[in-house]
Amino acid sequence: MPRVHILSSAEQAHQDNPSAFSSAERKRFFDFSHSLEYASDAVKAILPEGAEQDRWFAEVKAHIEASRADKVVRELQPFIGRHKDVEDCCRHFQSNIERMRQDRYRDKGMQVGSGVVEAGCRQFGLRLKRSGTRWSERGANAMLALKSCAMNLRVPDFLDWRANQAIVT
């Protein structure tokens, strides 16, 4: 089964981390809520607050959920040149249209948002940011790996991996 990499920014789309997993088994797509942020900013730039703005945003959201970002771009194009947020949204959607196919993953029961992962990161961050603690990057990475293994009941696997790392280096 391919591994899914949920992107939260355009910058991440152009970064590559070959150590994470090979590109042959990696599927990348944009986080649903981050895509909605672009669309929301565009709709707010065009329409004043109110029922019409809410209606149009609901329509745009439905298009994004159904992986029809191209339709959103067509609807926004008449407003390009008048609003920077509209231009940003269209540019983002056009550049990343193939990474915005969330329906493919949602239909398989997979997460299409990064909220769960971000909440987990906050939990780890809170545990590392206790009063008076200071961490080197290496130390923080080791603690995060150990904590993750403990939470997933994989401490023996981690200790075996770590022992092998010490032998190799």
Q: Are residues 93 and 130 in the same domain?
A: no
Q: Where a domain ends, among 57, 86, 106? A: 106
What contacts 112, CB < 8 A, 6 or more positions away? 6, 29, 31, 32, 102, 105, 106
What's the predicted TM-score (pTM) here? 0.59
How many domains does the structure of the chain reveal?
2
Q: Are residues 10 and 88 in the same domain?
A: yes
Q: Are residues 94 and 27 in the same domain?
A: yes
What contacts 99, CB < 8 A, 6 or more positions away? 7, 13, 28, 29, 30
At 26 the pLDDT is 53
Q: Where a domain ends, among 106, 133, 150? A: 106
Q: Are residues 52 and 102 in the same domain?
A: yes
Domain that holds residue 148: 115-168
| Phi, psi of 6, rounded to the nearest 5 degrees | -90, 120
Ordered per-residue pLDDT tens for the chain, 169 residues? 455 555 555 554 445 554 444 454 455 666 778 888 999 999 999 998 889 999 999 999 999 888 898 999 999 999 999 999 999 999 988 988 877 787 877 787 777 776 766 776 676 666 677 777 778 888 888 887 777 788 778 888 878 887 887 676 5
Model confidence pLDDT, tens digit, residues 55-83: 999 999 999 888 898 999 999 999 999 99
